[in-house]
Structure 1
Amino acid sequence: MISGQTALYGLVAHPARHSLSPKIQNQWFSEKQIDARYVAFDTQANAREVVQAIQTLGIAGVNLSMPYKQALLPLITELSSTAQLIGAINTVKNQNGYLSATSTDGAGFWQAFKRANPNQIVQQLVVLGAGGAALAVIEAAGRAGVQQVTVFKRQNATFAQVQAQLQAIGRYHDLTIEVVPYEATALMATALKTADCVVNATNIGMALTPGLPIESSLIDQIKQEAVVVDLIYAPQATAFLKKCRQRQLVCQNGLGMLIEQAALSFQFWTDQTINTTEMYQQLMEEF
């Protein structure tokens, strides 16, 4: 029942209509008997207009997806240390116009990883791509016991900037991070042979950008004991994961990360924790 006291939350993104977030968050509001609703705001407004709407309309909290994760950052009053390190946010809380924000993506990734692979110790991590999701995963790796991260990034205009940002993350967490050009296939092969976990954080494998993020010959270099994770969850099995499964490698898609980061957003807004088991079962069945 919606009342005059019902709090409003939502996802701000473009596109947004496809998102699973309203289903997830509304079910949790219901389970916790919180008088709130979560909707999708599909908008192309600029960052300042989004912030003004949140404050003017009294929206209690939002999740952000592209292109707003970085655009809203300088307009937020209070940022978590994670948000400051990675230069991005995905969760905003509004308390009478005072906006605080964090990113739950990285912590969500590692919670999902440990849930699926409780006995896997990750000391050496290889990450393909260096966008916002990659940075979140790498920053949280510093709190997950990882010792060394090798990041493969296209050698383009942002290479030096991202390299400096990752070095700052490494210093903060006392974590060894090496940024290598994506085109350096010999170095990639060497890194894949020793990695305990390999993460595809590129968009290669999505419906609109099909294909493999690395050549098949490089997939053959991944050690048998490694866990391979693709942050993509639609399709559930990308070409990359299919190829890895042919080698009998342990594989995981991005659905768990989606659920766990959502649970951490819920906690950031409400100070209540969520048991995610039922949501895993529901979404696995639907997908």
Structure 2
Amino acid sequence: MKEQNFLDNLVGVFGHPAAENPGVVIQEAAFKDMGLERWRFLTIDVDPGKLEDAIAGLKAMKMKGINCTLPHKIEVLKYLDEISPSAKLIGAVNTIVNDNGRLFGDSTDGKGFMESLRNAQISPEGKRVVILGAGGAGRAIGVELAMAGAQHITIVNIPQDEKMAESLVDILNTKTKTKAEYIPWTGDYKVPAEAHILINATPIGLYPNVDDKPNVDYETVRPDLFVQDVIPNPAFTPFLDEAKKRGARWNTGMGMLINQAAINIKMWTGKDPDKEVMTKAFKEVIG
């Protein structure tokens, strides 16, 4: 007799807001293509201050794992049993694996970002980089760029979160070979003439605020600058439009999203998904 098993294997994302997160589109497309019929990806809105309850629910429902996005990537650290060495250095986690109630956390944001950068044929080695934002994504990207040989990294962050930016700069200066500095973000940021790469690692421009763009003096964006956004929805943002208008090379957040999602799926299922299938599904929904 054929085995009957109707138990769903649950994964998903904790975020706030969460409705605009397109992860379910690419994850479930991958599951279907891989023949994982009873794997489900849930998009779950978890209010700040309710993360502990959400983690307890994850364990109670025996979910296989979860992604954490804004604003939970740093707060979630206190609820984990084990953290990867790179996530410890970064100080943030975006992917959790539930191994029979024992929670392991890792950061795949930076890894997905670096693969996207390589696909755009951009090497950070010896380059001067400006990162807008020092949250979970900015921290992961900063550490990965430093480990890849970036010469200098400037962290631009709002003064209200000065401690977060300074802690990232301290990590980069003491734990890696790169040189880093923090610049308080007041008014329109002027991109230094010596910068090679400009990265928006903030949620500015994310759906539904699709007309928003970071406070940058866009007249300082040059044609020889490479501009990268981490926003996946919409794929083409006003930030990138400003770069395009000025002749700069640019890259959307879609590649980073697909790459890190593929890593997540491998961590949860032990199998490699087809990223072309995931990209096709994303483009059909987001454009």
TM-score, scaled to structure 2: 0.86
Summarize the Cα distance change of 1:203–1:10 in structure 2 as closer, same or farther, 3 Å threshold: closer
Q: Supply the AA of the counterpart residue of 2:102.
A: Y
Tell whether 2:75 aligns with 1:76. no
TM-aligned CA deviation for residue 147 of structure 1: 2.1
2:19 is matched with which residue?
17
Contact 2:26–2:281 (CA under 8 A) maintained in structure 1? no
Residues 234-243 or 259-268, more deviating: 234-243
TM-aligned CA deviation for residue 65 of structure 1: 1.8
Where structure 1 has 5 or more consecutive residues not aligned to the other structure, the ranges are none
Summarize the Cα distance change of 1:201–1:51 in structure 2 as closer, same or farther, 3 Å threshold: same
Summarize the Cα distance change of 1:66–1:184 in structure 2 as closer, same or farther, 3 Å threshold: closer
CA distance in 2, matches of 1:192, 1:275: 39
Residues 224-233 or 36-45, more deviating: 36-45
Contact 2:25–2:281 (CA under 8 A) maintained in structure 1? no
Paired residues, what number? 280
1:183 is matched with which residue?
186
CA distance in 1, matches of 2:122, 2:134: 27
TM-aligned CA deviation for residue 193 of structure 1: 1.5
SS in structure 1 at match of 2:57: helix
CA distance in 2, matches of 1:269, 1:277: 19
TM-aligned CA deviation for residue 105 of structure 1: 0.9
SS in structure 2 at match of 1:193: coil
Residues 25-34 or 94-103, more deviating: 25-34
CA distance in 1, matches of 2:102, 2:154: 38
SS in structure 1 at match of 2:66: strand
Contact 1:194–1:223 (CA under 8 A) maintained in structure 2? no
Q: Supply the AA of the counterpart residue of 1:213.
A: P
Percent identical: 27
Summarize the Cα distance change of 1:243–1:18 in structure 2 as closer, same or farther, 3 Å threshold: closer
1:132-281 to structure 2, matched below 5 A, reads 132-156=136-160, 158-183=161-186, 189=190, 192-206=192-206, 207-208=208-209, 210-215=211-216, 218-281=217-280
**Which is bigger in relative contact order (C-alpha 8 A, separation at least 6)?**
2
SS in structure 2 at match of 1:165: helix
Tell whether 2:101 aligns with 1:97. yes
Summarize the Cα distance change of 1:176–1:101 in structure 2 as closer, same or farther, 3 Å threshold: same
SS in structure 2 at match of 1:220: helix
TM-score, scaled to structure 1: 0.86
Residues 233-242 or 125-134, more deviating: 233-242
Tell whether 2:73 aligns with 1:41. no
- For the aligned residues, what is the CA RMSD? 2.5
Where structure 2 has 5 or more consecutive residues not aligned to the other structure, the ranges are none
2:130 is matched with which residue?
126
Contact 1:192–1:198 (CA under 8 A) maintained in structure 2? no
Contact 2:26–2:279 (CA under 8 A) maintained in structure 1? no
CA distance in 1, matches of 2:213, 2:28: 35
1:110 is matched with which residue?
114
Contact 1:195–1:222 (CA under 8 A) maintained in structure 2? no
- Tell me the alpha carbon deviations over residues 111-151 of structure 1, each in whole angstroms, 9 at most, x when there is no partner: 11211x12555521111222222111101112333221111
